[in-house]
Amino acid sequence: MTRTLMFRRVRRTLVVVSCTVLALAGGWPANAGASPPSSASGTPLASGHSGHFASFSGGDIAPLAESGDIVAGSCVYRQAIDNPHISSTAPDAASVHGWWLVTGGECPSTATVSVALQGYWCDFFGCRWITVATDAGSHAEGGGGGNRTTARRTCSDTSRPVGWRGLVDVDLDGVIDPPGLTPSTIVNLFCVP
């Protein structure tokens, strides 16, 4: 191989690598009107690529909104989550609530209930779920107003539908329990994060 040909191949490889690094680092210019996803505090997420929140093309899909029985020590319990919805107490926000239910055995009086609210985001790399709000709290079992954790995100726009889902994880206080998230129903709401 001649020296000139080898130099051209090396230069071409460097250009490809440079473009890939720019793409992964968010170096591509953003499209007009596209807003990057933000964290619950409103700061931009790592992806600097242009994109948008989108409706979920499968429509409303209902996986179990309650897990099957989970055994941890002598406690048998379930994780539960409601559907993402427009909040009744904050009509310009999407919310989801998570809680836990005892189904048998001896269980602790409280558990840490962690909830994530996710929006459906599409960009150069495709579409995926991103977390836009989280919360966690210690609650007695049973659900209801005082025994559940709420994740909420204010809508920046209510003119078009966006896919939403929630995830819940319950960690029993003082008991080692298995990891695992329970998803909510996927719904399209007229609420852009």
Instruction: Please give the average per-residue pLDDT across 30-36, as a whole number.
Output: 31
Token couple for 34:
């596209």
Measured CA to CA, the distance from residue 100 to residue 115 in angstroms comes to: 12
Share of the chain above pLDDT 70, in %: 72
pLDDT tens for 85-125 read 998 887 899 999 999 999 999 999 999 999 999 999 999 88
pLDDT interval class at 181 (50, 70, 90): very high
pLDDT reading at 129 higher than 70: yes
Measured CA to CA, the distance from residue 92 to residue 135 in angstroms comes to: 18
CATH number of 51-189: 2.60.40
User: Which three-class secondary structure state does DSSP give residue 189?
Assistant: strand
Measured CA to CA, the distance from residue 14 to residue 31 in angstroms comes to: 26
Beta bridge partner(s), residue 20:
none
pLDDT reading at 148 higher than 50: yes
Measured CA to CA, the distance from residue 171 to residue 177 in angstroms comes to: 7
At 89, phi and psi to the nearest 5? Answer: -90, -15
- Sequence spans of domains, the chain: 1-30, 51-189
pLDDT tens for 46-99 read 545 588 888 888 755 555 578 999 999 999 999 999 999 998 887 899 999 999
For 172-183, give the DSSP string: ETTS------EE
CA–CA–CA angle 79, 83, 86 (5° rounding) = 135
